Amino acid sequence: VTSDATPDRIGILGGTGKLGAGLARRWAAAGIPVVIGSRDPDRAEARAQELRRDIPVDAAELSGASNLAAASAPLVVAAVPAEGAEELVADLAGTLAERILVSAISPLAFDASGPRPAPLADGRSAAELVAELAPAARVVAGLHTVSSVGLSDLAHPLDEDVLLATDDDAAGDVVAAAIGHLSGARPVRAGPLRLAGTLEALTAVLISINKRHRVHAGFRVTGLER
């Protein structure tokens, strides 16, 4: 972590996927080295090679490795489907100790009416489950409303806010600094981790808006500047 709280490396669990790849492109293009993790390191390396073709030549290193290697970065993003999160985070709990871990996981269900939030059986959010499975990790919930399509389009800055929920203020500062490097994104500290479920549910709202209006929308909070 540098003096302005920007992490000097970011690891992405499930970085071969849609959200992870979009984040990796943007952060590497902004000069932050990124390692995308996968259950299959060969797949991650192949994906990293593909992503490197689309980023400026002066971008930071973008590499592919195991999820375990990605989990050893000072800032780690969990960008895996809710179904796979429990086993993955439990397996990596030791490595994730003292790391800042962003949970972007949104548990959703889909039917004929579209997406809806699908919180865990006991009403907990995915981020709270992650915090329980990796108790020494510094968990921040965020990135739930950032579209992978927008992230991957490096020619256009994002135009949106990224809401963060955490009980660890210093970890929130580091994540906010990292989000500040996603061009056009503004981090907004929303409150404690117990609000994570509300942020996760917003993904369903966003997907529904996108389908109805045939767009890739983002969220904005107004009235923050005084």
Ligand X SMILES: NC(=O)c1ccc[n+]([C@@H]2O[C@H](COP(=O)([O-])OP(=O)(O)OC[C@H]3O[C@@H](n4cnc5c(N)ncnc54)[C@H](OP(=O)(O)O)[C@@H]3O)[C@@H](O)[C@H]2O)c1
> Using CB under 6 A, which residues numbered 122 to 141 contact ligand X?
none
Shorter beta-carbon distance to ligand X: residue 58 or 83: 83
Is residue 40 within the footprint of ligand X (CB under 6 A)?
Answer: yes
Is residue 38 within the footprint of ligand X (CB under 6 A)?
Answer: yes
Q: How far is the CB of 59 from ligand X (least distance, A)?
A: 21
- Please check whether residue 5 is in contact with residue 37, taking contact to mean a CB–CB distance below 8 angstroms: no
Is residue 144 within the footprint of ligand X (CB under 6 A)?
Answer: yes
224 vs 147: CA distance, rounded Å: 23
Q: How far is the CB of 2 from ligand X (least distance, A)?
A: 26
171 vs 85: CA distance, rounded Å: 21
Q: How big is the site for ligand X, counted in residues (CB under 6 A)? A: 26
Spatial strand order in the sheet of 160-166? 62-66, 34-38, 10-13, 75-78, 100-103, 138-142, 160-166, 185-191
64 vs 104: CA distance, rounded Å: 20
Shorter beta-carbon distance to ligand X: residue 33 or 81: 81
Q: Is residue 215 classed as helix, strand or coil in its secondary structure?
A: coil
31 vs 47: CA distance, rounded Å: 19
Shorter beta-carbon distance to ligand X: residue 1 or 46: 46
Nearest to 17 by CA among 117, 143, 125, 194: 143
Binding mask 75-104 for ligand X (x = CB under 6 A): ----xxxxxx---x---------------x
Is residue 179 within the footprint of ligand X (CB under 6 A)?
Answer: no
Chain residues that interact with ligand X, rule: CB under 6 A: 14, 16-20, 38-40, 43, 79-84, 88, 104-106, 143-144, 146-148, 203
